[in-house]
Structure 1
């Protein structure tokens, strides 16, 4: 049920409207009443309200004043008035009020207006739910992409580059670099080096692998560059790492 606030300076009128119109049949619950625009604003600031059925002419603050104050909120406003002057309807449109019911309201008119409002609110709710569901489903998407990127690097560590990886996942390389850092808190280049060095550590466990061979396997044509990078990563040279025990 959507929450409805009924505002009118005539107690009998607003109370009768609250009690005798079958609000639940059109998807609403009349939860609050107000006798002027000031009370309306006080209520909406402390209560969950979806729609205001509001007399356009009220003391202290009019319905137009209320619409002006709430023009950027999610709350829908329906005006009630015994006045037929076009200027009121025109001002109502200015502040996004689409529905205008003349007093005394006819049952079928009230029913049509609020059924239409319910459909509009339902669509908005469904759209919001769909958007939230999409947003929730998006972290898995990020994780899948990161997993794809990491798997590509791990399988192609010897020649892995930012440009090549970007082409593989169909992303701009500058965007990929920023995206990877944002999602993993690690620079793309640092991750590539880490994969290379961890592979080098595995290969160094095999005494039959020469250092220069390992250097080439992990993508370093210059063994000195490999040694320098390995020392920076592990704190030891390849020889020291191999003979550490």
Structure 2
């Protein structure tokens, strides 16, 4: 989990973000909340955090002043600003402090999700790599590891696999994993799951010990008609036709 500090002088904003946004699901732990930049600065100097989600306009010390102090102290904390204003001047100053995001209030769930999911990927990629790990090997990259983990999970648990469990495995939000998997593989998670199920079904249909409805159950379909429909869409023939075409002389099953 990456440590997150939230700073906003509006208690309703702090309460909403701390209580109702699924930080843990996307890999963040909210470790502290403050109502002004000075309190946050004192905390961060003694307790470095990975990310700061901070309002720009606050009493005592503004978000921009806080960002400047953190940069002068050479703290690597990633900063994302909240603001009730779409002000170009604020955005321009934010760039000077290498701010990673600029979210306009009222906060939008999907915008928060997208911003922090992307930030998590950046944080993951910046983790030091063990000396004995091959840097040039594609599978050693972060994206490669995530995709490989998701695929391995599906291939092992095809009968019960779900997007939610795959997302939990790689510490991402299910909504983001769906888009992420498509971006990295060119295939939707649901399509990959069906592909693995159908390939396993074809393998099982070649084994005369199993009846068609048993194959359906083994790969996770409680209704044989749904399995038959999906199989025919995937292979162009029904499970019965597939089996009989590949096992000449066998009695229909």
- TM-score for the superposition, normalised by structure 2: 0.50
State the 4+ residue runs in structure 1 displaced beyond 6 angstroms: none
SS of structure 2 residue aligned to 1:130: coil
Which residue of 1 is the match for residue 78 of structure 2? 76
The answer to whether the Cα contact below 8 Å between 2:41 and 2:66 also exists between their aligned partners in 1 is yes
- Tell whether 2:7 aligns with 1:4: no
Shift of 1:16: 1.7
RMSD: 1.6
2 CA distance for matches of 1:92 and 1:18?
23
CA offset digits 1:156-194 (Å, max 9, x no partner): xxxxxxxxxxxxxxxxxxxxxxxxxxxxxxxxxxxxxxx
Aligned residues: 132
Question: Quick check: 2:48–2:75 contact (8 Å CA) kept in 1?
Answer: no
How big is each residue's C-alpha offset from its partner over 1:59-111, in whole Å with a ceiling of 9 and x where there is no partner?
Answer: 11100001111123210000000111100000000111130000011100000
2:68 and 2:35 mapped to 1: Cα distance? 18
1:23 aligns with 2:23: yes
Higher helix share: 1
Alignment of 1:47-126 (within 5 A): 47-71=47-71, 72-125=74-127
The DSSP-based 3-state class of the residue aligned with 1:59 is: coil
Aligned residue runs from structure 1 range 89-168, under 5 A: 89-125=91-127, 128-130=128-130
Q: Normalization by structure 1: what TM-score?
A: 0.52
Cα distance change on mapping 1:57 and 1:108 into 2, 3 Å? same
What SS does structure 1 have at the residue aligned with 2:30?
A: strand
SS at match of 1:100: strand
> Can you give the 5+ residue segments of structure 2 that lack an aligned partner in the other structure?
135-253
Q: For residues 203-226 of structure 1, what are the alpha-carbon distances to aligned partners after superposition, in whole Å with 9 as ceiling and x for unaligned?
A: xxxxxxxxxxxxxxxxxxxxxxxx
